[in-house]
Amino acid sequence: MKATSDWKRMKMEGERITMVTAYDYPSAKQSEAAGLDTLLVGDSLGMTVLGYDSTVQVTMDDMIHHAKAVRRGAPDTYVVVDMPFGSYHGNDDDSVGNVLKLYQQTGANAVKLEGVECVDVIRRSVAAGVPIVAHLGLTPQSVGVTGFRMQAGTQEAAMQLIEDTKAVEAAGACMVVLEAIPSDLAGKITRTLSIPTIGIGAGADVDGQVLVYHDLLQYGTDRLPKFVKPYADFNTAGVEGLRAYAEAVKAARFPDEDTTYKRKVFEE
């Protein structure tokens, strides 16, 4: 299993970091079998597995519930877990308390927070011993304000984002996720920081990539964002399998001889 200290080393050695989201036992198990460097229990689970239209409704209890299942499915993979909306923007004592709770109760290896506003929470959490991943650029918990669109598209906003990434690095974050920003800006940030950048919709000039499991395998999703390339089609495979099953039952082809217990318990 990777350790937090491996991330800087991999960046220095130019080895790209692979990350995918996982939300439950089977997705974690598959991702570990596929050899991913790290898994993210993203609060995107609100949309991918709970059917909400944003991540805003996701609670601490939801994150703990799903992260524990991921931990069981991938005992030997570095797991990062998202702090949900509303759990780290009150006073800093409560916020740090929630970070410690999520880390301790899930057995995750690191905790991820969105935005630069929580830079003090990052500093205090790291001081308390919790590895922290920062998330800047498009921060989905703020979609009510920003919308789902590319961020930092002007030079002024880009300069601000560079400063923000420096601030989370200085606060002790061990990596930073950059979402939906221009590729040249992501490259500049990547060359400026000593911690790795993990991109999603940030182009190729970063230290690693993360995608949402349900997007990259096309599982329950019908519209993919511009920055997703699908690598499998679980939608088609799943619907075909379910239809074949239903047809077999209707036609009395299932269960068959092989799938039936044949011991006689009554005399004829």
Q: Which residue of the set 32, 156, 179, 257 is catalytic? A: 179
DSSP 36: -
Give the β-pairing of 132-137 and 175-179. Answer: parallel
Token pair of 209 as six digits: 């990539």
Size of interface with ligand KIV, in residues (CB under 6 A) = 12
The pattern of x and - marking residues 71 through 90 that bind ligand KIV according to CB under 6 A reads -----------x--------
Considering the rule CB under 6 A, would residue 177 count as an interface residue with ligand KIV? yes
Q: Could you tell me what percentage of the chain is helix, strand and coil, using 3-state DSSP and rounding each to the nearest 5? A: 45, 15, 40
82 belongs to the binding site for Na ion (CB under 5 A)? yes
Please say if 257 is a catalytic residue: no
The total number of residues written for the chain in this structure: 268
**112 annotated ligand-binding residue:** yes
Residue type, 159: M
Which tokens hold the place of 175? 């990596």
Q: 29: exposed, middle or buried (C-beta count within 10 Å: 0-12, 13-18, 19+)?
A: middle
Q: List the x/- string, 15-34, binding to ligand KIV by CB under 6 A.
A: ------x-------------
Instruction: Name the region of 263 (left: φ>0; alpha: ψ -120 to 50; beta: rest).
Output: beta
**Any contact of residue 134 with ligand KIV (CB under 6 A)?**
no
The DSSP bridge pattern shows strands 17-21 and 78-82 to be unpaired
| Residue 37 near ligand KIV by CB under 6 A | no
In the bound state with ligand KIV, the residue whose beta carbon lies nearer, of 12 and 175, is 175
Interaction between residue 62 and ligand KIV (CB under 6 A): no
Judged by CB, which is closer to Na ion: 82, or 164? 82
Shortest spacing between CB 227 and ligand KIV, in angstroms = 10
Q: Is 207 in the site for ligand KIV (CB under 6 A)?
A: no
Distance CA 204, CA 178 (A): 12
Catalytic center residues: 179
List of residues contacting ligand KIV (CB under 6 A)? 21, 40, 42-44, 82, 135, 177, 179, 200, 210, 212
